[in-house]
Amino acid sequence: MTGPIVVNVALGARSYDIVIGRGLLASLGTRIKALRPDAKVAIITDATVANNHLADTEAALRAAKVLSARIIVPPGEGSKNYATFEKVCDALLAERIERGDLVLALGGGVIGDLAGFASASVRRGLDFVQVPTTLLAQVDSSVGGKTGINSPHGKNLVGAFHQPVLVVADSALLDTLPQREFRAGYAEVAKYGLLGDAAFFGWLEENWRDVFAGGPSRDNAIAVCCRGKAGIVARDERETGERALLNLGHTFGHAFEAAAGFSSRLLHGEAVALGMVCAFRFSARKGLIGQDQAERAIRHLAAVGLPTKLKDVPGGLPNVDALMDLIGQDKKVKRGRLTFILVRGIGEAFIAPDVDPAEVRAFLQDQL
C-alpha cells in the first residue's frame, strides 16, 4: 500500500504540508502532537459534520493524548456572518485557548473560512489546522490562507490572509458527502484544468467517473489541484497578480450566489460552474476563444451534472441591474473598473482588467 501524497506550500517560515490520502483522520493526533507537542485543540465544526466525523476526530486526538474542546455551529453558508463569527471568537476565549494552542477547522469551506478568520483574530492570531471534509475544501478553500465571512454587501468581503500550519485531506471523508455537494466541489477541480492545465482537463474528461466513485483517480485529482494552487500561492500569496487566476468563474459566480441569498438554491460550486460557463461564453463572444473550445468546457460541466444555464437556478435570478450591482462589489474591482478572469483557450486563463461594464450587461441580458 502506498503512503499519503504530501504537497508542500512553500512560504518560507510559514510553509506547511497538505497531506492527502484515504484514512488519514486516524493519524491526526500524532501529526498534531509532532507539530505542537503541548497544544490544546479547539475543534470548530458544524452540526452535520459533527454527526459524521467529530467522534472519530476526538478519538484520534485522545489516542495521542491531545486535549480538545468542541465548538459547533449551524451548517451552511448562513454561518459565515458577523453573529456566528462573534460566537466562535467568544467560545475560543471561554475555552481559554491560548497563543500556543491550535484551532482545528473540521468541515467544508464555510467552516474553514470562519474558523480561519476567528484564528486570525482571537488573541491577534492563533495557529490553525485544516481538516477539510468536502471536495471543494480539499482542493481549494483549505489551501492558501484566505479566510473570512460574508457581508450583506457580498461574499468574503470581511476577512484576513491567515495560513494554516497543516492541512490533512482524508479523501475517505468525502464518501459521506451527498452527491450534489460532491458535484459542486468538482466544479473547483475542473477549474484547475480550465485555468492553467489543459492536460489535466483532458485527463478529467476521461477519468471523472472514477473521481466520483472514490477510486485512485480521486486522490490524484486532489493532489494535482493542491499542487497547482500551492505553486500559485507560493508565488503570489496576497493576490496582487497571478493568484487572481484562481477566481476563474468567481466574479460572475459570486454575484449569482449572492443573488440566490447564499442559500441551498445555489451551492458555491454550482455558482462557480455557472460563472465558468459565463467566462467561456463571454470570452467566445469577445473573439478570444473559439466557440468549439468554449463548448467543450461547458459540455464537460454538463456531463457531470453541473448547471450550465442561468435559468437552471431554482427560483430564478434577479434582473441584470441587480446582478451588475453585485458584480460591482467584487474584490477585484479597482476604482470602479471591472476585472474578469477570461480565457484564450482551455488551460489558458488570463486577467482582463478594465472590462467594459456595458459589454458585461449586454452579455448577461442575453444569458438571462
The CA angle 139-277-296, to the nearest 5 degrees, is 90
What residues are labeled active site?
A: 124, 146, 188, 229, 239, 243, 247, 250, 254, 268
Beta bridge partners of 343: 349
Q: CB–CB of 326/290 below 8 Å?
A: no
- 3-class DSSP assignment, residue 136: helix
Rounded (5°) CA angle 104-107-110: 105
Q: Which three cell numbers stand for residue 144?
A: 492558501
**Main-chain phi, psi angles of 282, to 5 degrees:** -65, -40
Q: Which H or E element spans position 272?
A: helix 268-285
- 57 contact partners, CB below 8 Å, separation of at least 6: 25, 28, 43, 45, 104, 106, 131
Report the b/e string of 55-66 with b at 16+ CB within 10 A: eebbebbeeeeb
